[in-house]
Structure 1
């Protein structure tokens, strides 16, 4: 997949050659931190999408995939088989994670607050979290597109049209989204003349490259849909 950044142009011949080479072209934001559009890849194999659909349609295997996702995030395979219980445990762990990272980086933290109608009303840390989360979701959207999996079929998120994208993005909340956002907020505290959105997206763009984030997401998607093993 070629990621086409702002200000780029592409010729008819280039599109023809890309199609011949089965190479996708996606329009992305600066540093690849937004995904604006990408055509369906129509990969040579549909195995991952078929496996995703099969496990999603069965209540037992669906909760098993959710448990796998929580194990990737929390470092342990939780025994619970009720999605609401798992969400509650994850929510409590996230509160701890926010507090730990805030203390580690040296910023004030009074909880996650976000008003969709007035996002700029949030403090610097919460604004940075919003921008960082959007960028990680864009990376996840690229990974989902590249694997040919189905964005609507999520295992933890259920209602949004990008439910599976949100599931994948959340796998990186503790290791990338929170630390990048809080470091950006700290930078703005020290240099108030800088812009919180620009600083956050720049930092996240570097993290996407340094951590090989999109290839890592692709491998995790493949791992999620491996044939089920017997886990307690």
Structure 2
């Protein structure tokens, strides 16, 4: 009888295309197991079967337990798995990327390792945030100064729009309640945006640590990506929440941001922005399940062959 461990790993040809899958399935307070090529979610109300090949990302919320067998079939079918907070608000951890290609990870490393391309990506990020400006000749310090000024302008503009008093950004790490309601809302929105950006970065197989604006932290690139949408989505929404009521600012901000992300299709936009930033020449990553070897002149040759003799031999 065939066991799970002896099954041949599926190739992309056998898998459902990502574009034809459910973008995500969220589960909470249940036990996730496996039944043939489906996963099952069992709780007090019964057991539900979900074909694993139809899932893009499985989000495991509070109170979930998942078995080794379930993780095995999800790995075989190319589904990503992320451990998240209630209703998918916060990203805690993830397993494997949605892609088997290293194209984006290699492009990120190549852009990051070169000083000129690194600042070119930083300028491109600034241009995405503030499209009316041309940062082509700005130094890194000038970029930081311009960004700081634009964010301050955004705070003041949103305060005028909503009528919420603004006395400056106030945030004490580890003490969420130390700020006034609008600062609490800004902090909650930022935390959510970091979680969203982390999920996208991880699913694309990029390195969360190789940032182009932020540096020295394991989530530097995540912070870079989350900041792309700060002045457009995060800050305005935070002021809207603070203008409504002073109570339960954090939970209301997280729920409102979740809805805004769905309304604006931010996940799709985030994916496209990352590809545009890292693949500056417009090239599209090779999504094939292919392993190659690097030869001289950065030439790629077929793997699985022995190049020790005059005639290449298959290993």
**Fold shared, TM-score > 0.5 on shorter chain:** yes
Deviations 1:157-204 (A, max 9, x none): 012110000000000001111011111111224xxxx31111111111
Q: How far apart in 2 are the matches of 1:198 and 1:73?
A: 27
1:2 aligns to what? Answer: 58
CA contact (8 A) 2:193 2:234 kept: yes
1:17 aligns to what? Answer: 73
CA contact (8 A) 2:79 2:98 kept: no
Q: Tell me which protein shows more strand as a share of its residues.
A: 2
What TM-score, normalized to structure 1?
A: 0.91
Deviations 1:42-94 (A, max 9, x none): 73111111111111111111000000000000113313341111000110011
2:128 aligns to what? Answer: 72
1:60 aligns to what? Answer: 116
Q: CA deviation at 1:117?
A: 5.0
CA contact (8 A) 1:107 1:182 kept: yes
What TM-score, normalized to structure 2?
A: 0.68
Counting only pairs closer than 5 Å after superposition, residues 2-151 of structure 1 correspond to structure 2 as 2-41=58-97, 43-75=99-131, 76-116=133-173, 118-151=175-208
1:38 counterpart SS class: strand
Matched residues, number: 225
Larger RCO (alpha carbons 8 Å, 6+ apart): 1
1:150 counterpart SS class: coil
**RMSD over aligned Cα atoms:** 1.6
Q: How far apart in 2 are the matches of 1:2 and 1:127?
A: 30
1:154 aligns to what? Answer: 211
CA contact (8 A) 1:5 1:31 kept: yes
Q: Tell me which protein shows more helix as a share of its residues.
A: 1
Q: Which runs of 5+ in 2 are unaligned?
A: 1-56, 283-315
Q: How far apart in 2 are the matches of 1:52 and 1:91?
A: 25
Counterpart pick for 1:180 among 237, 250, 260? 237
Deviations 1:99-122 (A, max 9, x none): 111211221111112122533221
Q: Which runs of 5+ in 1 are unaligned?
A: none
Q: CA deviation at 1:14?
A: 2.7
Question: Is 1:218 aligned with 2:274?
Answer: no
1:166 counterpart SS class: helix
CA contact (8 A) 2:98 2:203 kept: no
CA contact (8 A) 1:34 1:134 kept: yes
Q: How far apart in 1 are the matches of 2:174 and 2:195?
A: 21
Question: Is 1:171 aligned with 2:228?
Answer: yes
Q: CA deviation at 1:15?
A: 2.0
1:109 counterpart SS class: coil
Q: How far apart in 2 are the matches of 1:3 and 1:178?
A: 26
